[in-house]
Structure 1
Amino acid sequence: MTSLRVLICLLGLFVLCHSDCFFRELESKDLKNPPKGCVDEDGKQHDFGSEWVRNCMECSCTKEGMSCCSKLPDAGTVDLPEECELVVDKDSCSAKMVLKKDKTKECNPLV
């Protein structure tokens, strides 16, 4: 029974960790005045070596560029059992599998 619980936890981690990422290469327009960091979509500059979270995206800045990964799974890429659905809470940047017929109960397809 313990191994079943471990398997269910691992399945949940896979679902929650499967997310989209992107990388934006750092552009240097003026060689005499190199960039001091990365600029996000809001126009805010982030220093090299910094990390931040914006709109449920974990981002980091290096001298190569800015990389960001969603903290939320993409429902289109998650293989859910038919009786389950993925509920995403963008306020807390979290997601969970629940039963379609009773969204107050977590989905446990292996039980």
Structure 2
Amino acid sequence: MASLQVFVCLLGLVVLCHSQCFFQLLEMKDPNNPPKGCVDKDGKLHDFSSKWDSMSDCMTCSCSTDGMGCCSMVPSAIAVPDECERVVNKETCSAKVMLKSDKTKECNPM
């Protein structure tokens, strides 16, 4: 069982390194009173097998008996030219690549 937990942790690190995702293992504090779901950063309990969007931090999350996994809803550009920058709109959970010199003009990511 310990090797499965190590595998899940390593898998979570690989996902975290290559995308904007994370996985948080479910904590078993009291074996006589097992968790009924996953608790998000705001303290809200989500049932196992549930999915939800957190618009305050632009994340989409899911809960399993192993833990909670979340990924960013904001698309990310693979590469942004030096003269450009990625601008995130937290209200719409979207991003655009804009010229640094003129923020009204979009530029094409590589």
Cα deviations across residues 16-62 of structure 1 (Å, max 9, x unaligned)? xx742111101122222211100111111000111112211111100
What's the offset of the Cα at 1:103? 1.8
More strand by share: 1
Q: Which runs of 5+ in 2 are unaligned?
A: 1-17
Residue in structure 1 matched with residue 95 of structure 2 by the alignment: 95
Identity level (%)? 64
RMSD: 2.2
For the Cα contact (< 8 Å) 2:97–2:109, is it kept in 1?
A: no
* TM-score normalised per structure 2: 0.70
Aligned counterpart in structure 1 of residue 70 of structure 2, from 68, 71, 76: 68
d(CA) in 2 for partners of 1:25, 1:99:
40
Q: What is the TM-score when the length of structure 1 is the normalising length?
A: 0.70
What's the counterpart of residue 45 of structure 2? 45
- Larger Rg computed on CA atoms: 1
| 8 Å contact kept, 1:20–1:73 | no
Structure 1, unpaired ranges of 5+: 1-17
Matching residue of 2:106 = 106
Counterparts of 2:83 and 2:29, CA distance in 1: 53
Partner of 1:10: none
SS in 2 for 1:60: strand
Q: 1:71 deviation in Å? A: 2.1
CA distance in 2, matches of 1:102, 1:89: 17
Partner of 1:32: 32
